[in-house]
Amino acid sequence: MPQSLSLYTILYTFDCVQWESLGSSWPHYTADGPLREGTSNMSTAELMGWDKKMLRWQKRYRGKLYTVSPRQLKAEKRTKDATRTQANQWWRSKKAEIDDADRQDTPELPVDDKDRKLTIRVPVPPEIGECLDSDEASPQQKEIFKEWAGRVTTKFRYHRDRFLASNQDHSPRQTMGHYVQDFIDTKRKQAQAGQFALSRFESYRCDIEHFGKWVGADQRIDVITARKLSEYHTHLTAATKAGILAPDTASNRLTTVKQFIQYLWEDDVIELPKNIKNPRLSIKKVATKNRSIPVDVLTQLVDAALPRTKLWLLLMMNCAYTQTDISKLRHEEVDWRQGRIIRKRSKTDRHDDVPAVNYELWPETFRLLKKFRSRHENLVFLNDDGQPLVQERIADGKFKKSDAIKNAYWRLQLKTKSKTRYPLKLTRKTSATLLAGHETYGRFTNYFLGLSPRAIKDRHYVTPAQDLFDAAVEWLGRQYKQILTDS
């Protein structure tokens, strides 16, 4: 029996293995499948795969797909058999070009490592040995050998690929750390272009950096597989059960990681894990309770606030504004004669189905608004340094934010020595909760919040009669004792 079947050796730079000393009657095999009988391995081995649908050759290497058509090979006959040799030559040249480019970023391997060889011992079953004892192989013996050789080839390919991966140049461009930074840079550019809020960029950055550290920044990017994604899901689930992560945080991180994987797949860096859309690979968010600030507590805060801080609180109660809405309020959006503000929410002003809400201002709100309006050509409010009240920017690759309104509210809570610290965002929600509880005005809640209609029934009330909506806003003012009479 030929010794090459019990023990064979291959240099890690080779892409295939040849079954030797089998005699002319035996089929020849490579690590990628059988060759025709009596042919030479090196001349007929298919180094690339044939795409029957696109009629072209293709090869995935280091996470990227490379293709070449018979037309590009300038072949006379544009068939698989006629272009196999040319495709092999093209791929050898292309592979050398890719490898040379990567070597520019990394030092060469030591000579000892270059000379390392992959050795795999293959046990030969008795029935195969009996077949090989014959000088000539019968059709039945060939089938037995073919089935066994296929299993051995699969095993060899697995060990070969792992061996090759462990000895390849570890270019920084192929590491987890490189692609994490690439993803962050892409999201930063999208945020700066206005595709989403800068605060959303910060969430992306934190989520993907957590995943990068969990995997390992120096790991090759192709470690991201279905199994790895499943392991990360298990890790996040365990963290939520242990109370280390909130369910919402864990869910957001998993969503960002899936976006990252999709991003890599679209750039042909990795294969798309088959379980990425598996509904079981998700983390359920916890429904938040509809919290609000007690009316008497909110009224006490307003009474204790400095005039400018009082104005900001009243705008949140009167118009359901956030700090960003107040910071971006423009002179042209205020009717300085009638005491009204007409605008879309800053968060959704680019959406066509979001209403521009016409708010009637309570007397105290309008009085303070006229008192503290700035002389800026556009913005109604500026901070003490002449800058917008809320500023967001990306500095040194990280999200930075300053919020004069939130800082003033924090100082107000210290001043009043509130036993319960309510988040500032609950101010607008308190008005919405009051409105939602009214028998007649409750249907205007989404409109009051500046939201688009969420259901078909809501579209009938997306733009209510102005006098009816004014009545709803006046009713709110009476709940806060900002309007003392029904007139």
pTM exceeding the 0.85 threshold for the entire prediction: no
366 and 411 in a single domain? The answer is: yes
Residue 128 covered by a domain: yes
Give the three-state DSSP class for 377. Answer: coil
Pair (81, 49) in one structural domain: yes
CATH number of the domain bearing residue 218: 1.10.150
In the three-class reduction of DSSP (H, G, I as helix; E, B as strand; rest coil), residue 11 is classed as strand
Q: How many domains does the chain have?
A: 3
**How far apart, in Å, are the Cα atoms of 346 and each of 330, 367, 401, 428?**
11, 24, 17, 15
Question: Under a CB-based contact definition with an 8 Å cutoff, are residues 91 and 99 in contact?
Answer: no
Question: CA 362 → CA 335, 367, 369, distances in Å?
Answer: 13, 9, 11
Question: % helix / strand / coil in the chain, to the nearest 5?
Answer: 50, 10, 40
Is the same domain home to 159 and 179? no
Cα 11 → chain centroid: 39
Flag whether 332 is in a domain.
yes
Same domain, residue pair 307 and 251: no
192-201: long-range contacts, CB 8 A cutoff, minimum separation 24? 192/394, 197/347, 197/392, 198/392, 198/393, 198/394, 198/399, 198/401, 199/392, 199/399, 199/401, 201/394, 201/399
Each of the 487 residues of the chain gets a pLDDT tens digit; together they read: 333 333 233 322 233 333 333 333 444 333 344 333 333 344 456 888 898 888 899 988 766 788 999 988 988 888 998 899 899 889 888 888 877 765 554 443 333 344 444 555 555 566 665 565 555 666 776 666 666 666 666 666 665 555 555 555 455 568 899 999 999 999 999 988 888 888 889 999 999 999 999 999 889 898 999 999 999 999 999 999 998 899 999 999 999 999 999 999 988 888 999 999 999 999 998 876 778 899 999 999 999 999 999 999 999 999 999 999 999 999 999 999 999 999 988 766 566 667 889 999 999 999 999 999 999 999 999 999 999 999 988 787 778 889 999 999 999 999 988 788 899 999 999 999 999 999 999 989 989 998 876 655 555 555 778 999 999 999 999 999 887 655 4
Query: Does 114 share its domain with 248?
Result: no
Please check whether residues 248 and 350 belong to one and the same domain: no
In a domain, residue 281? The reply is no
Go through the chain and tell me how many residues it has. 487
Q: Which residues, other chains included, contact 79 with Cβ-Cβ below 8 Å and sequence gap of 6+?
A: 70
C-alpha to C-alpha distance for 117 and 13, rounded to whole angstroms: 9
Whether residue 16 is found in the same domain as residue 151: yes
Q: Find the domain containing 406 and state its range.
A: 295-479
Asked if 336 and 451 sit in the same domain, the reply is yes
* Residue 274 belongs to some domain of the structure: no
